[in-house]
Amino acid sequence: MKAGLKFIYAGNVSGWGNDTHCPNCQKLLIKREIFSVFEYNIEQSKCAFCKAAVPGIFI
């Protein structure tokens, strides 16, 4: 957090640390498993649930 890295996940591995949660409401934003995304709840760089800003580049 001190380095400004707020949305860190362990990529390309199975298990804990793959998903991204909203920093405001804690709901699941991105559910990942190895190379696949199974759930995506970001709309126009905002949480789809509480509309909090989620800065980043999402492709």
Q: What is the pTM of this model?
A: 0.74
User: How many folded domains does the chain comprise?
Assistant: 1
Radius of gyration of the chain (CA): 11
Domain extent for 20: 1-39
pLDDT, one tens digit per residue, over 14-38 is 766 788 899 999 999 999 887 888 9
Q: What is the mean pLDDT of residues 48-57?
A: 91
* Average pLDDT of the chain, as a whole number: 83
Q: Is residue 54 part of a domain?
A: no
Q: How many CB atoms lie within 10 A of CB 4?
A: 6
Strand partners of residue 10: none
Specify the residue for token string 């298990």.
15
Q: Is residue 56 part of a domain?
A: no
Beta strands in 1-59 (DSSP E): 20-21, 28-33, 36-40, 42-43, 46-47
Strand partners of residue 51: none
